[in-house]
Amino acid sequence: MTSTPTSAAPPLLKGGGKGSTAMLRKIRKVALPYGYLTPTVVLLTILMIIPIVMVVGYSMMNNVIMIKNPVFVGFQHYVEILTSDAFRNALQNTLFFDIVSVVVHLLLGFGFAMMLNSPMLGKVTKSIFRTIYVLPWLFTVAIIAVLWRLLLEPTGVINYLLMTFHLTTTQIEWLSNPDIALYAVTFINIWSGYPFYMTSLLAGLQGIPKDYYEAAEVDGASGWQKLIYITLPQLRPIIIAMALLDFIWTTQQFALIWMTTGGGPLGTTEMLSTYTYKFAFSTYQFGSAAASAVIILVISMVLTYLYVRAQKVKY
């Protein structure tokens, strides 16, 4: 309900009413953006800030969750983790897994995207290849893990083919041999992730104006020169953004490793993610698990910062 000022009202009050309305409008104007932000801020607080603060708090407590009165131990868990051989091993494996995955994802994705963008292929051929190439992206991690476990079994299809074509004389233990298990899981990750690059780069390639290539041809540029001086510079923002995102996602890869090798054999495929999981759900050391998770968070935040900076450069 609203009330309308009557003509009998004293002039002072009338003037005061106008003033307060103006004040309300001003407050509303200032508050309006905050009102729009409120749902996001509330959600971010509940879903991100509170859990992160809790995990950081847990990382400084001893036997947190498992005992009712945990003790504050400061950075003890961080010191233990950062100085442990197991962590260094997991970090090295994760770096290898990340770098090789990202580089090969990029090369494969770019190669396939170039092929699908080539005018030398007909529409039908392109559609067939596009469907085939994108298939790995359609499978969930669980299916990918089971599929490749079956294929790479010592008695599996891969070994059968290799032995049939006399490329090997013995059954290779792809996932169980400590010398090759890391390469095997990296290969699986590469297989499952390249379509992301392929589709994004294909979209990028299709967005490059044809005029550039026509002008280059007029100038007598070779195919290689067109690639170096037109295609790659045009795709650079996409490549940087995807490489950083892929690096973040690959660092956090857990399910694939857990379901194929579990971090073994002999810790050769142990990643930061599996290392952290074992702290939490195998030894119930939630304080150490939280510290390890915070370390992964810091690494991810550095990468995220680089990603955001790259995006700013783009726009």
Partner 1 sequence: MRKKVWASLAAMVAAALAFSACTASGSTTSTSASAGGNVTLEFAQWWEPELPAGSLRTLMDQFEAANPGIKVKLISGPYASTKEQVVAGAAAGTMSDVVGLDGAWVSDFVKQGSLTNLSTAMTDAKFDASQLAAQVKIKGSTYMIPVANFVYPMFVNNDVLTKAGISALPTNRTEFAAAAKAIAKSGTTSGWILPLDTATPNGIQNDFMSWVWASGGSMLKDGQPNLVGNQGVKDVMAFVKDLYDSGAIAKGTFTLKEQDKVNQFTNGQVGMMVDSLAHVNLIRQQNANLKFTVAAIPTADGYTGKGALPYASWGIGIANNSKHQAEAFKLVSFLMGKDVNAKICSLAHAFPGNTGAVPDFVNNDPAFKQAFDLFQKSNLTNEFTGLPVAEDLMRSFDNELQKYLAGKESADEALTAAQAAWTKSFAA
- Distant-in-sequence, close-in-space partners of 174: CB < 8 Å, separation ≥ 6: 152, 154, 158, 180, 181, 184
Binding piece for partner 1, criterion CB under 8 A, among 29-37, 73-81, 177-185, 220-228? 177-185
DSSP state of 174: T
For the CA atoms of the chain, what is the radius of gyration?
Answer: 28
- Contact by Cβ (8 Å): 288, 77: yes
Q: How far is the CB of 267 from partner 1 (least distance, A)?
A: 7
CA distance 213 to 46: 51
Nearer to partner 1, 109 or 287 (CB): 287
CA distance 258 to 156: 20
Q: How far is the CB of 262 from partner 1 (least distance, A)?
A: 2
Is residue 67 near partner 1 by the rule CB under 8 A? yes
Q: How far is the CB of 255 from partner 1 (least distance, A)?
A: 11
Is residue 153 near partner 1 by the rule CB under 8 A? yes
- Contact by Cβ (8 Å): 291, 81: yes
Is the omega angle on the peptide bond into residue 33 within 30 degrees of 0, that is, cis?
no
Which of 224, 282, 312, 315 is the binder for partner 1 (CB under 8 A)? 282
Nearer to partner 1, 16 or 209 (CB): 16
Interface residues for partner 1 in 214-273 (CB under 8 A)? 258-267
Is residue 57 near partner 1 by the rule CB under 8 A? no
Is residue 117 near partner 1 by the rule CB under 8 A? no
Which of 24, 37, 50, 66 is the binder for partner 1 (CB under 8 A)? 66
Nearer to partner 1, 60 or 248 (CB): 60
CA distance 9 to 14: 7
- Contact by Cβ (8 Å): 240, 201: no
CA distance 249 to 270: 16
Nearer to partner 1, 163 or 216 (CB): 163
Q: Which of 314, 114, 103 is nearest to 227 (CA)?
A: 114
Is residue 286 near partner 1 by the rule CB under 8 A? yes
Encoding tokens for residue 113?
A: 């995207």
Binding piece for partner 1, criterion CB under 8 A, among 24-32, 170-178, 240-248, 304-312? 170-178
- Distant-in-sequence, close-in-space partners of 6: CB < 8 Å, separation ≥ 6: none
Q: Count residues near partner 1 (CB under 8 A).
A: 32
Binding piece for partner 1, criterion CB under 8 A, among 29-37, 152-160, 233-241, 291-299? 152-160
Residues contributing to the site for partner 1 (CB under 8 A): 65-68, 149, 153-155, 171, 173, 175-178, 181, 258-267, 278, 281-286
